[in-house]
Amino acid sequence: MKNLIAIITVLIAFSRTSFIGEIMPSAIYYGWFIFLALLVILRNLYVNKINPTMVYFLLVCLLSIILNEINPIFVPWQRFTGFVLFIIAVGPFFESEKTLLFRYKLFH
């Protein structure tokens, strides 16, 4: 089951950077990473190993969006939300053994 989730995650993540991105709606992309981020949060609910560097980095990104005047054509809030979901789902936000094993499967 974990291998299937890893394969689906890779296919959906890379679909946004290829020709399939025009076919696949963004709701599938965001929906999958919301599901995956919630799954990772629930699995790490009692672990309390959050990477403080990533928290600071996301806060700096948030402050940058708030304090700078960004053209709305770039949809900064949607991109930031997607980035946070991606970081929580497959990035180094959590530092538990389960998350490291999932990332290992994901990148191999």
Q: How far is CA 59 from CA 21, 66, 75, 85, in A?
A: 29, 10, 18, 14
Q: What is the pLDDT averaged over residues 5-30?
A: 76
Which residue carries 């936000």 as its tokens? 93
State the pLDDT at residue 29. 82
Q: How many domains does the chain have?
A: 1
* Domain encompassing residue 32: 1-107
Structure confidence at residue 28 as a pLDDT band (50, 70, 90): confident
Q: What is the pLDDT averaged over residues 72-97?
A: 89
Contact by Cβ (8 Å): 82, 17: no
**pTM greater than the 0.75 cutoff:** yes
Question: Measured between alpha carbons, how far is 4 from 72 in angstroms, rounded to an integer?
Answer: 37
Mean model confidence pLDDT for the chain: 85
